[in-house]
Amino acid sequence: MSSPFTGVWVVFRRELSTVRRTPGYAVLAVGLLAVLGGLVAVGGGGATGFVPAVVDLLLPAEVLVPLLAVVLGYRALFADVASGELDVIRTYPVSAVGYVLGVLLARVVALVALVGGPFALVGAYVWLTAAPDTGIFATHSGVDSPVLFVRFIALVVPFGAAYLSLSAAVSTIATSRRSAFALGLLALLGGVLGGDLAVLRSLAAGASPGGVAESIALSPNGAFRGLVFEHVIGVAFAPEGGFVDTGRAVASLVGWSVLGIVAAVAAVAFGPRVGVAIERLRGSVRR
């Protein structure tokens, strides 16, 4: 007999091993590093400091991080569903929760390495080349500091994790690799553009601009951007803050991740029964 944690751990190890044996992911990480390095170089190089580097990277990060997260996530659960291996795994004593958690935790670890790694390397480059006063570990506002860049990376990971779990969840309803990719792309576009467009629409409809700080935090991108402004960029330049409600933004990022996990678990656990329910409905309509 195996404990629930054994199942999570065994699935986690296999998934991490699968990612490690997929060279395409490493290529993507190198590509991300090249893009990030290029953006910092074009923005004035590492000598400008950590916060200017964050300013240069913020907008690209809002697109590139979700993109890589979707690439990591869109086949995470779909692969086993499509190959039929999930039917085999279901005969073993591992629950749907354990299976999904094992897969997604491994993919999040991969996300930390493949996305966090290039950002960390760019941070190291800035540290090595920045002006002397950027080496101060600031404990108060108004000073550029490596701590601010570490905060930025710490926000990149949950931001990517939200897209990872959402793309994995939507892929469980895909019927082919192509449709899994299309659904992942839809999640990407919906997340990257949907939240901001919804805020703009509400403003155009007459909503109070004072409520933007609250509503912007509801989308993953808005929450991430708000937190970066509040706790990275704003620390150096605007002590008052007020870009976003921190609690709401953190809850938003965590909430999107949890939503993806719950949806994925439901799809894995109850997916076969949905088809049966449809068949029964069809049968009762015919009668």
Partner 1 sequence: MSDRALATLDGVTRAYGGVPVLDGVSLSVGAGVTAVVGPNGSGKSTLLGLLAGAVEPTAGAVRYAEGGPRSRSERCVGYLPQRVPFRDGFTARETLGFYAALVGGDPGGALADVGLGDAAEKRVEELSGGMRRLLGIAQATLGDPAVVVLDEPTSGLDPEMRERAFRAAARAGDDAAVVVSSHDLDLVDAHADAVVVLRRGRVAAVGARDRLLDEHGVDDVAGLYRAVAGRSDDRAPAVAEGEGGGSGGEADDRGEGEAGDPDDGSVHVPGVSDR
Q: Which residues bind partner 1 (CB under 8 A)?
A: 1-2, 4, 6-7, 10, 13-14, 17-18, 21-22, 79-88, 90-95, 272-273, 275-276, 279-280, 282-283, 286
CA 277, CA 282: separation in Å to the nearest integer? 9
Look at the block and give the residue holding tokens 């950027």.
Answer: 134
Beta carbon nearer to partner 1, 140 or 273:
273
CA distance 143 to 137: 9
CB of 89 to partner 1, least distance (A): 8
User: Apex CA 115: angle with CA 62 and CA 132, to 5°?
Assistant: 85
Least Å distance between CB 275 and partner 1? Answer: 7
Compute CA distances 187 → 69, 220, 222, 266, whole Å: 11, 11, 15, 18
State which residue, 71 or 223, has the beta carbon closest to partner 1.
71
Q: Which is nearer to partner 1, 53 or 174 (CB)?
A: 174
Residue 180 CB, nearest distance to partner 1 (Å)? 13
Q: How far is the CB of 81 from partner 1 (least distance, A)?
A: 6
Residue pair 33/115 in contact by the 8 Å Cβ criterion: no
Least distance from C-beta 1 to partner 1, angstroms?
A: 5
Nearest to 190 by CA among 259, 134, 264: 259
Q: Which of 163, 168, 193 is nearest to 67 (CA)?
A: 163
Q: Which is nearer to partner 1, 19 or 153 (CB)?
A: 19
**Cβ closest to partner 1, residue 201 vs residue 282:** 282
Provide CB contacts within 8 A for 267, sequence distance 6+.
77, 169, 172, 173
